[in-house]
Structure 1
Amino acid sequence: MNDQIEKFTQYVVRNSIENICIDIPGFSDLSVLDACCYFGSVNIFHYIISNLRKDITQSCLKYSFIGGNTFIINECLKCYNIYNKCLEYIVASHNHKFLEYVLDKSLFSPREIDYETIINSKNLKAVFLMFERDKFSIIPWCAAFSQTIDIFRNENLDFSKKSSKSQNILHFAGAHNTINILESWPNYIQYSRMIVNAKVNDGKTALHYASIKSCKEATEILILQGADVNLKDNMGLTALHHAALNDNKYIAKILISHGAYINSKDNVGNTALHYAVMKNNESTIEVLAFHNADVNAKNNVGITPLYTAAEYDKKDIAKFLILHGADVNVRNDDGFTILHCAAWKNSKETAELLILNGADFNAKDYNNETPLELAANNNKIEVQNVLISYVTGAKTVPKVIENKKYTRNNNVYSSSQNTPQNNNNILTQNRTSYSQNTPQNNNKILTQNRTSYSQNTPQNNNYTRTKNEYPTNNYSPQFNSKVSEQKPASYTPNNYTNVKIEFSTHYHTPQYNKGFSQNFVSYSPSNYARDKSGYSTLLNAVRNNNLEMVRNLISRGVNINAKDKDGCTALHIAVQNNDEEIVKILISQGIDINSKTDDGKTPLHYASEFNRVEIARFLISHGAHINAKDKNGYTCLHFAAKNNCSDVVRLLISNCSYINVRDYYGLTPLQLADRFQCKETAAVIDPSRNKRNSSGEDCGVVCTFFTLFCMLYRFASYCF
């Protein structure tokens, strides 16, 4: 960078520069030679190409125009010709001297220069250099520069010309807030609403560009000159959608006051409020809610703004939406409630806020899962602890949610509330106001002060406010307002009921709905909902090896012996998953160690079947019935012998398992081992087989024949 040739030569004597890459923001890693071109380090550049014999590359040429060193540029030009990327770097780096050289030598025509590079780099000099050589080459994009107004005034040019993207001068003037051009363009182009509302290739109008770039004055002028505030681009977005996306509440106010449809939806069904919530644009959310935006509007997949707030864990926005009547129990097209979404996103605070404001924590989605089961199945530890506390009754939902800040006073709000009664009214006087006589036919001209209009401009009625109806310093609930977050001190299981909180349609203060008091079932330890597979919350936690969840559930009094649709308890599942820690916890908490499934299997059957030696030893030491039979008459030894689990067989025999017991088909464990060719377990059951020679293996054939004979005999007895 500083062209310190002495230090550089000392370095290269001992080190190679082959693998050195220099990171410059906005560019890919540059080689040392490229970096010399970029910084104009002429001495090091000359040393590298002369002494180190490095070749000049094509990238050296484009970077040399940024560095601006004439010697480096000339050396690079000896090897390569100027190409399009070089021209872009010449313009972006304001290398006007070489730009003149390029244009004078006709290496490129002015029309080949990328106008977006000129606009983004604010290279006004390049505009006039191009104008001197080709007047038409700067139309219409020169409208992005207010300094080009004299060109519009003095030149007889075709200003209705469009760019390659179908942009006219209004698109560029609107996007860059060039007020002088916007005000005077009808003098140079025949006035037409078609021009004001002309769309580019992606469907955007000049008003869209002004909204995207947050150009307040340009927005006002375009509207008064006939711009349609409700036109949509190819994605279905209006100018109000873009104002919400870019958090420009002032433009949102202007658009709404001139008839913008506040609940207009784009191609995927999102309203402006959806996008404001998604982008966490609190000030715009206030404006939209104040002007009666639908807080329960659903997009094409059933997502509401409150659902979006929960998805992005925006607790303060969720509070605000609930105060304005957002439904906390609405479902999307997959059957997910907002609480399901909070559980999925592990949004602890948002989940508790929803529950305290009436969210049904027992609601099931289309997979038959409650929010708690969803959290448990996906290991969402923080939110599942919150949900457990309410499901088990450790915390309760208050019957009435107090809201001291927002109270009623004879249907007119007190001055402490600062909240309007009617969402269709206008903003207060201390905020930007608009003219009553600003109709949607857009035939009015701008007043001398564009940002000030007269106060009373409702969109629908002739209603105006009195001074007592709303304050002058604040017009709506702010994001620091407190929705109920009480933590009740005590709980009585027998009297516990969930209470739904309703919101008034006149004003969104939470109210208690007495008729809803019995809609939820009181908690009891065995009353955990099961999903469509028959798994309770505890079984889900065990199935997912969620040790912490298991501990939390047990500590809060869950029914430890709950079964799924197949009759499996948590212990059966833990044994099958080979989870020794959960097995020990369950047994220590008194789970039925000999509980049977619908097939008659005990946990020890599972341990024997799946070769869980240590778990089997632990179960036996805690009283598991070693000779219990399933519905087929299989003992644990039958399962171990059948599956060639020799270690389990030794354990069972050493603990007095019956060796000669027969199942309902008349088979002993040894015969079953022979039938499935489990030689190891057969040898453990009958140690004498280790002493026999190879000819003794005929015993297995005899046993097999005997087994078949017994089965045929039993079948014949059954038939005759």
Structure 2
Amino acid sequence: MSEKDIDPNKYSEFRSAYNYYIDSYNTLYRLKTENEEELNRIYKIIKTELIDSNKHSPQRILQNILDIIPYNSRYTKSYLKLAERLYDEYHITEVNDIKDISNHNFYKEYEIQLNKYSDFDKFVSENTIYGAIMFNDIEKFIPFTEREGFNKNQELKSKLYPDSDKGYSLLELCCYHGSVDCFKLLRTKFNSEITQTCLNLSFLGGNPEIMSECLKYQKPRDECMKYAIISHNIDFVTFLMYEYNIKIDVEYCGLYKNLESFLVYFDKTNDINKCFIYSAMFDVTSLCEYFLSRGANMNFKNEDRKTVLHYAAQFCRKEIMELFIPHGAYINEKDKYGKTALYYALRSSNKEIVAFLLSYGATIFPKRRNGKKALHLAVKYSSKEIVELFLHFGANISEEDLFKKPLSIMQQYIIEKKQPNFLFHMVQISMKNLT
């Protein structure tokens, strides 16, 4: 890592204090093995450094592991094995806010994960050009390019890859996987175009030859920094920062658990308030305490007018929220979309966080810009228990939205959650609240 403009004493102090966190997540994001012994070693690191020693919840670690897959899909099955081991050892029955996966028993979620990533088995078990690229198997790759009717401009859309709605070209897939041999053949034989996406994805693939070639044709942009952060390669991050003056996006650092890049940003800028806002995303209470001790403004807002409490609620950090309330956090503060911390807790369907916010005065009555009240959102995003919690705190099942239409809470819950027995139960609760 470059030491340019970085105070080695200050940075080293932070790096040492959070070494366990940084090294653990670097290991996960940079995983490059299917070997059982190596996976056992990685699992022990997770268990010892994150869960047992530092009290990070197994549910949250499992969620984080599954969220890595689109950015390192070559090792999908390795991530799923780690996730399954967490379930088995810690008896996890519910995981909140996993993208595109139902919130039920983990074995069911595990089946859905395998369905979601069924492309992986297809690529590996069948003789496909995508499998050849994934494993940089040039001997299998060449025959595909020599077939009659081979389309050098074909594109792939797959949930195995991030943001692939528009499709990725063969060369872009080579950049994602770091498949340098397949990359060179496409360039020499077909003169495949090096796109901006090629350069972006090369920071995930991490192959120096591919990255160097892409830099001859494209200039790095902010998206490159995003993928450099996700790669957990600090050399890539500092390269973009110093050579191309691209700022480290500290929100991405929080989303993808890159505390090392976050600390580099803080060391370079000393922006206490901005770093404080995103510190809650790491689930490290002492980090938040540090910024508070340095005079961070509890209710400082970012460009989206979100405060640190919004992020603590969004990422279900109850212990951190307990730290913020005595320091004067505005519990009903709205961001630029009219969303309070309670909204983000509802989206995460976390009963504990919702109960905490309600107990400290989070209001269930103000509407968002689209006219939806908190109870509407509880019905849409949350569980029966959270809806009951709202009614306990005085929510009205006949609330109207922006279009003056009653919520019809029982009907909507039946439609959203497919629980017809809830109708009678809700009537009972509503009548009890009226008496």
Aligned partner of 2:298 in structure 1 is 159
Q: CA deviation at 1:21?
A: 2.6
Higher Cα Rg: structure 1 or 2? 1
Q: CA deviation at 1:211?
A: 1.9
Q: CA deviation at 1:131?
A: 2.8
- Structure 1 residue ranges without an equivalent (≥5): 293-422, 425-458, 462-720
Question: Normalized against structure 2, the TM-score is what?
Answer: 0.60
Q: CA deviation at 1:143?
A: 2.1
Deviation string, structure 1 residues 588-633 (Cα, Å, up to 9, x no partner): xxxxxxxxxxxxxxxxxxxxxxxxxxxxxxxxxxxxxxxxxxxxxx
Candidates 294, 317, 324, aligned match of 1:185: 324
Matches within 5 A, 1:142-541: 142-153=279-290, 154-187=293-326, 189-190=327-328, 195-268=330-403, 269-271=405-407, 272-282=409-419, 285=423, 287-292=425-430, 423-424=431-432, 459=433, 461=435
Change (3 A) 1:156 1:287: farther
Change (3 A) 1:229 1:49: same
Question: Normalized against structure 1, the TM-score is what?
Answer: 0.38
Report the structure, 1 or 2, having the larger helix content. Answer: 2
CA RMSD of aligned residues (A): 2.6
The question of 1:20 aligning with 2:154 is answered yes
Amino acid at match of 2:300: K
Q: CA deviation at 1:14?
A: 4.5
Percent identity, aligned pairs only, is 27
Q: Secondary structure at the match of 1:196?
A: coil
Change (3 A) 1:261 1:127: farther
Q: CA deviation at 1:132?
A: 3.0
Q: CA deviation at 1:48?
A: 2.5
Aligned partner of 1:87 in structure 2 is 225
Equivalent residues of 2:280, 2:288 under 8 A apart: no
Candidates 236, 246, 262, aligned match of 1:98: 236
| Count of aligned positions | 290
Equivalent residues of 2:309, 2:331 under 8 A apart: yes
Change (3 A) 1:226 1:23: closer
Amino acid at match of 1:275: Q
Change (3 A) 1:11 1:280: closer
Equivalent residues of 1:17, 1:32 under 8 A apart: no
Q: CA deviation at 1:287?
A: 4.5
Q: CA deviation at 1:133?
A: 2.7
Amino acid at match of 1:161: F
CA distance in 2, matches of 1:208, 1:237: 11
Change (3 A) 1:29 1:237: closer
Equivalent residues of 2:255, 2:281 under 8 A apart: no
CA distance in 2, matches of 1:139, 1:69: 34
Equivalent residues of 2:346, 2:354 under 8 A apart: yes
Equivalent residues of 1:208, 1:238 under 8 A apart: no
- Structure 2 residue ranges without an equivalent (≥5): 1-133
CA distance in 1, matches of 2:422, 2:220: 48
Amino acid at match of 1:23: K
CA distance in 2, matches of 1:278, 1:230: 23
Equivalent residues of 1:174, 1:215 under 8 A apart: no
CA distance in 2, matches of 1:219, 1:18: 52
CA distance in 1, matches of 2:361, 2:400: 22
Candidates 68, 75, 90, aligned match of 2:206: 68
Amino acid at match of 2:294: E
Candidates 268, 278, 303, aligned match of 1:133: 268
Amino acid at match of 2:406: N
| Worse-superposed segment, 74-83 or 154-163 | 154-163
Equivalent residues of 1:36, 1:42 under 8 A apart: yes
Equivalent residues of 1:22, 1:29 under 8 A apart: yes
CA distance in 2, matches of 1:122, 1:262: 39
Q: CA deviation at 1:263?
A: 2.2
CA distance in 1, matches of 2:211, 2:153: 24
Deviation string, structure 1 residues 374-423 (Cα, Å, up to 9, x no partner): xxxxxxxxxxxxxxxxxxxxxxxxxxxxxxxxxxxxxxxxxxxxxxxxx3
The question of 1:6 aligning with 2:6 is answered no
Change (3 A) 1:47 1:108: same
Aligned partner of 2:100 in structure 1 is none
Change (3 A) 1:216 1:74: same
Amino acid at match of 1:141: Y
Q: CA deviation at 1:190?
A: 3.1
Amino acid at match of 1:237: K
Q: CA deviation at 1:288?
A: 2.6
Q: Secondary structure at the match of 1:291?
A: helix
Q: Secondary structure at the match of 1:197?
A: coil
Change (3 A) 1:23 1:227: closer
Q: CA deviation at 1:106?
A: 5.9
Equivalent residues of 2:202, 2:210 under 8 A apart: yes
Equivalent residues of 2:250, 2:262 under 8 A apart: no
CA distance in 1, matches of 2:192, 2:343: 51
CA distance in 1, matches of 2:228, 2:422: 41
Equivalent residues of 1:173, 1:179 under 8 A apart: yes
Candidates 29, 37, 43, aligned match of 2:175: 37
Equivalent residues of 2:154, 2:170 under 8 A apart: yes
CA distance in 2, matches of 1:288, 1:120: 37
Change (3 A) 1:285 1:70: farther
Q: CA deviation at 1:95?
A: 4.0
